Structures are given as structure tokens and as C-alpha cells.
Amino acid sequence: MKLKFFYIIIFLFTNAIIFSQNVVQDINLSKKLDETSGLEIIGNQLITINDSGNNPILFYLDKNGNIVKERKIECCKNNDWESLAVDDEFIYIADFGNNYDTRKNLSIIKIPIAENINESEIINFSYPEQKKFTTIYRSSQYDAEALISIDKNLIIFTKNKLKKITEIYSLPKKAGNFKAKKIGSIDTKSIVTGADFDKKTNTLALTSTILFDDYYIQVINDFNLNYQNHKIDTYKIPIGKTQVESIKIIDPTTFWITSEDESSSSSARLMKVKL
């Protein structure tokens, strides 16, 4: 309890938490989505995935959270799918969950948005700084649950549980075997579990947690990959104990998030949060 209290006090003093936010929609999702762990928008539909060990399926939802179709990804299994990103032509599925820093098969699956094109590419990668491939869960540094697309690159935000920061890595959007390029870090004072970027407003939105009880939305306005000392606005998500692992920007003050099924709820949830 003393360690937990210490982390919370440090977070409170270094990240001003703003409580003026509301959950304006709270939708129970199908039991098929109990481990929802990624969120994107294509046209008028949301898409999501489940994480480790589930079937390799993209779920397309309407804005009421109903599953309208399922798209099975034939090329690959779901080792630990944790995030989604899109650009004008492709969907990127991040198979890089790595709870214990043990994986040597990290990848991002690239598939066309157009479902009539049955093609896929695999972007395999490693973290060049990683020398040790084992750790305890609470000390892992090379786990990740957050992926965004910026121009010609895919950007990974790590889930560094040891340092309570996120380190930023870049990958090209092409098939091959790569060493991810470390391009910076953000001192979030918390563990990042999801990310989205709006290029129209240069808004970066992260979801994060300290000790997996409460979750937060962290917003960086005028985000720039070449700048390190961003101002972070932090908002506690007022929904009790849950597990939020994805976020999608509607506008700079409104967001979709999803939460896995937890003991505190009857199902996984899709929520619209207004700051």
C-alpha cells in the first residue's frame, strides 16, 4: 500500500488532473468483445480487436456498439493483438503485446481497407535497446499497447511499467524485418495503454494507468515528434475500476474509448467521453 500511495502522490503533483469530464455514452458490448484492445474508425463504423489468444478477427461496429460484421485475418494468428491504426489505404494490426519482455516475434500486420483485396504484409521488428528477454510483469519495459500512423511511419508508444514513461519508436509501413528506431520519450508518470493522433489538429491522446485501478486520458496539443517537453493535460476517466486499452479522437475534447470486461461491469464497454 505504501508503494501504491507513493506513485499516486507523485502522479498528482506532476500531472494536474482535471475532473471536468463526462461519460456521455456508455454502451455494453457483445461478449465476443470481452477483451477489446484497439479502436479505429473507417467511414461510419468503428473497428476493434481482442487481445492475446483470441481469434484473429476484426470486428466492425456501428455507433451503437452493435457488431455489423466480422473480418477474419487469414494470414496470421493473434499472439497478442493490442492496437490498431489506419491510413487512407491500410489497416495496421499491432501484434506487439509483450507482458514479460519475452517475445522475439513482434509484428504489425498490414491489410488493405478494401475487403475485396485479399493481401497482407508483415512488418516484423525488434527493439535494438533490448538485451534481456525476461522480467517480472510489473517491471517490463518493452511491452506496448499503443500504435498510431503519422505520414509514412508507424509510431509505437511503449508501455514501460518500470519507469512509468512511454518511449516512442518509429517503423516504416512496409513488409520486412526492422529494428524499431527510438525517436523520443514522454514522461507520462504512468503506463500508456492506448493512443490516437488527429493530424488535422495535431492532437495526441493517450490512455494510461498507474497501478491498473484508475485510468486516465492524457492529451497533448500541438504534438510534435521532434519535441520532448510536451505539456500533458490529464483527465481521470470516471468509470471506476476497469481496463481501458484504446482511444479514438472525435475532436480535441471528445473521445471514444473501450474497456475490457471487468468484475465491476457486466460486459466490455464502448464509451464516449467529453472533456
Residue 29 pLDDT > 90? yes
- CA distances from residue 41 to 25, 30, 34, 63 in whole angstroms, order as listed: 17, 18, 19, 10
**Nine cell digits for residue 26:** 456508455
Q: Are 140 and 174 in contact (CB under 8 A)?
A: no
* pLDDT of 199: 95
| Residue pLDDT, tens place only, 89-124 | 999 999 999 999 999 999 999 999 999 888 999 999
- Mean pLDDT in residue range 3-11: 52
Strand duo 176-179 + 121-126: pairing: parallel
- CA-wise closest residue to 13 among 173, 234, 201: 234
Residue 220 pLDDT > 80? yes
CA–CA distance, 56 with 147 (Å, rounded to integer): 18
* pLDDT of 11: 55
| Residue pLDDT, tens place only, 132-187 | 999 888 899 999 999 999 999 999 999 999 999 999 999 999 999 999 999 999 99
Residue 7 pLDDT > 80? no
**Nine cell digits for residue 15:** 500531472
The pLDDT confidence band at residue 53, using thresholds 50, 70 and 90, is: confident
**Nine cell digits for residue 68:** 455489423
* pLDDT of 108: 98
**Nine cell digits for residue 130:** 533490448
Share of the chain above pLDDT 90, in %: 83
CA–CA distance, 141 with 219 (Å, rounded to integer): 22
Rounded to the nearest 5°, which phi and psi values hold at 272? -105, 125
* pLDDT of 15: 64
Residue 60 pLDDT > 90? yes
CA–CA distance, 257 with 141 (Å, rounded to integer): 24
Q: Among 3.30.70, 2.120.10, 2.60.40, 2.40.10, name the CATH number for the domain at 2-274.
A: 2.120.10
Residue 144: CA atoms inside 13 Å, Cβ hemisphere, count? 28
